Structure 1
């Protein structure tokens, strides 16, 4: 992961405005193209991590996939359907879908990273940090910050965040609701630094904050 610090056109790829990024699509998630090894919703932990990086990194136009729970032994299986072959309705309970629909776009970790991308806007990458081969963190100017950990030990570091001083909700583990964080939080000091902890064995070994999820700032919404 540490080599991703200049991911994009510097790798010889097309310019950002000519690219659509995606982790999977309706073809390659079934093994059609992609030469195998494509991440899909069937592997939620690495899938959420990869999607988070895609949405946090300022390259290309991001495309989010939303799937259904097809028969993995039948790569041409259609969507959930009734006995008369009519498509089943999508049932929604908060940010989770049922009736055979996966709805990755509603997963909190992905939904909130879309807000992260919107809040970051055109801000450039700053404060790149690498703790090991598979531990990275970076800011998007003074708008947003993310840390990802795929090593077998935690990130416990005081890192330059670059955001205005204050308390921010980690939008991976929760939301900003009624003026407080439902998950973890990060406190940025007056110099722009913060103590960051990202565990290695958690369900989602990453952390993300942005100015739209700052506690006590009524001017910010996301």
Structure 2
């Protein structure tokens, strides 16, 4: 059946009271001085997501309550929930054995409980769905939940004899050899992963049943893993049978000169725009911050309303095509700029430290992933040992910018200012951000569309109340900055930023 392109889920609107409570904490509304009559209220939007890579269901539920909801995140992207092959590596989660919702990240009941907990915190849940392929194992085995399998036979689910898999005939092993050949990309195997014949109605029926089962737990939508490797019409045939309002975002990596492009997947959902992170990386390393703010304006990008953008994800941090947590200050600036500008829907990434690109998260003796535990001093200055949770979504500047974006909403970019490797931009009358990509401290008066008054720099840390009715009003973690006559005097150290918004007013 035909349905309209999915927009932000109605379920979020039905949870308005939870959202408002969470946002009050996110932007410091409970702690800040009342706005003057002519100062606009914070927009209280929630259009930022976070990928909690390889986090268990229990840990995600707690994080939704403790940090994601209060910080202003709108949704969380989880790792795949289906039964998978055994092994310590991260990629075992992307090799399905069955569609039972039992994995090393938790049980079906724990998944359902997490979804309910996140919804109570005003956070939607988007699940990574692996529907292009099954395992890449040549030898038979037993999956996480005890299901037997072989490379092309999954009892009760798929059978090679029934025609459930593609065999494209490309030597030596049916693997993709030429990404300029659309047939190979979508009918051959991706690194030996048994490729499902997604054009067959029987295969589509089973995939729809799996996705509907996940939705029955209250999940809001799906990231379609390896969507590029399925013909767009096959994906559409599956997606269009899901309930209206199901959020869909397809993983389609844009490659120069390749025939399979992200635009082919927009009629039935949104798509990750990989080009944003790759190009932002080069611009930031080259000191061209202004160009980052202009990304997405050209015809070579997806329309803003269809694009999900990111600084890094679990593949790019291992492949080195984008900035990642070890890059420190440039990585932080990339996240600040992603959240400051208006193109696309930003997705913050949060994973664990590694030196071996195949290494999985820390696990117990049975192979179950241990619950994430964020260090108190999580941030770009910290040295992370292998296996430690990096928790980029909690980094002071990243979390502060999520609240900033929540406050400014979809206000257009107004005043702009540039000076060498530094720039400032305002969004409507609700927020201003100043970014210093240079090697020296920036001291300047920059233009702003904020109304006159004192504001907290939310990147210095959260605003704190002086007391229930404290005589001194709220306290800024850093120095309060005063806007006068359309300008604000700032002092921004090299490789850092300052952000002010109407939800974090200071006294005085």
Q: If you compute each CA radius of gyration, which structure gives the higher value, 1 or 2?
A: 2
1:158 to 423, 436, 445: 445
- Secondary structure, counterpart of 1:119 in structure 2: helix
User: Does the CA contact (< 8 Å) of 1:5 and 1:128 recur in 2?
Assistant: no
Q: Give yes or no for the alignment of 1:129 onto 2:417.
A: yes
| Aligned pairs (5 A) from 1:104-143 | 104-132=392-420, 134-143=421-430
Q: Which of 322, 329, 335 is residue 45 of structure 1 equivalent to?
A: 329
Instruction: State the alpha-carbon separation in 2 of the partners of residues 68 and 47 from structure 1.
Output: 15
Cα distance in 2 for residues equivalent to 1:47 and 1:11: 26
- RMSD of equivalent CA atoms: 2.2
Alignment-derived partner of residue 182 in structure 1: 477
| Conservation of the 8 A alpha-carbon contact between 1:95 and 1:106 | no
Work out which of the residue numbers 482, 485, 489 in structure 2 matches 1:195.
489
Aligned partners of 1:5, 1:20: CA distance in 2, in Å?
16
Greater CA deviation, 87-96 or 43-52? 87-96
| Contact 2:374-2:389 at 8 Å conserved across structures | no
1:147 aligned to 434, 438, 441, which one?
Answer: 434
* Aligned-pair CA distance for 1:11: 6.2
**C-alpha separation in 1, matches of 2:293 and 2:368:** 47
Q: Once the 2 structures are TM-superposed, how far is the Cα of residue 58 of structure 1 from its aligned partner?
A: 0.5
Is 1:8–1:15's contact at 8 Å kept on the other side of the alignment? yes
| Shift of residue 183, structure 1, vs aligned partner | 1.4
Unaligned runs of 5+ in 1: 218-222
The 3 A distance-change label for structure 1 pair 195 and 120 is same
SS of 2:399's equivalent in the other structure is: helix
2:332 is equivalent to residue 14 of structure 1: no
The residue aligned with 2:500 is 209
Q: Residue 216 and residue 11 in structure 1: after superposition, are their counterparts in 2 closer, same or farther (change >3 A)?
A: farther
Question: Could you tell me which residue of structure 1 aligns to residue 340 of structure 2?
Answer: 56
Residue 11 of structure 2 corresponds to which residue in structure 1?
A: none
| CA apart distance, 1:10 | 3.6
TM-score, normalised to structure 1's length?
0.84
Match of 1:24 among 305, 312, 316: 312
Match of 2:59 in 1: none
3-state SS of paired residue (1:20): strand
Shift of 1:78: 0.5
2: distance between equivalents of 1:127 and 1:143?
A: 12
Q: In structure 1, what is the equivalent of residue 67 of structure 2?
A: none
Report if the CA contact (8 A) 1:175-1:183 is conserved: no
Q: Distance between the aligned counterparts of 1:42 and 1:4, measured in 2?
A: 20
Residue 96 of structure 1: CA displacement?
A: 4.0
Does the 8 Å CA contact 2:458/2:499 hold for their aligned counterparts? yes
User: Mind listing any 5+ residue stretches in structure 2 that lack a counterpart?
Assistant: 1-288, 466-473
How far off its partner does 1:150 sit?
Answer: 1.5
Counterpart Cα distance in 2 of 1:46 and 1:184? 23
**Secondary structure in 1 aligned to 2:450?**
coil
Which structure has greater strand proportion? Answer: 1
Contact 2:457 2:498 in 1 (8 A): yes
d(CA) in 2 for partners of 1:95, 1:16: 35
Structure with the higher fraction of residues in helix conformation? 2
Distance 1:137 1:15, change over 3 A: same
Aligned residues: 206
Note the C-alpha offset of 1:5: 4.9
How far the C-alpha of 1:84 sits from its partner, in A, is 3.6
